[in-house]
Amino acid sequence: MGQFGSDVLGAGVVDGAQQVEGGAEAGARLVGLAEHAEALRHLGDLAAAAEHAAEAVRTAGQAHLRGQVHRCAGLVLVRVQRSRADEALEPAHLTLERFRGIESGRLHDRGRSVRSALTSRSSTPEIGEFADRADAELNLAV
């Protein structure tokens, strides 16, 4: 699984959405944890957003790589917004690992937003190293 996140991404619900079983609702998809986290973050409910984002990452193991990138990036943004940049580093590294080799402007925008969020809130050596790594990954994709 790489240097980071061997225990962070577990098995779970595909793409953060839950499948409804039985009755007339069979096959209906409910809005997922990652989407809830993002909405709560935008509304300013950062504690609830952090819970949803962390659960979205924990259940990301069965999601496709693009979904994993968005989940990890969402957790980074919530943690940074809560002034916990140090706690955001692990999912930030996961974000970079997951989008490596994927050609997607949207995913690379997410990578850039993660880098920007972290560097705007902290100037620790670890954040600097992450920023250098992010720059290298993002330049490789260009």
In one letter, which amino acid is 44?
G
pLDDT at 23: 34
* Residue 58 token pair: 């924990």
Bridge partner residues of 19 (DSSP): 29
**CA-only gyration radius of the chain, Å:** 15
| Residue 64 CB partners (closer than 8 Å, separation 6+) | 15
Least confident range of 9-13, 94-98, 111-115: 9-13
pLDDT grade for 141, boundaries at 50, 70 and 90: low
Q: What is the mean pLDDT of residues 53-62?
A: 88
pLDDT at 24: 32
Range(s) of the domain holding residue 40: 14-141
On average, the pLDDT of the chain sits at: 79
pLDDT at 82: 96
CATH number for the domain spanning 90: value is 1.25.40
Q: Quick check: is 46 in a domain? A: yes
pTM of the model: 0.76
Overall domain count for the chain: 1
Q: What is the mean pLDDT of residues 99-109?
A: 88
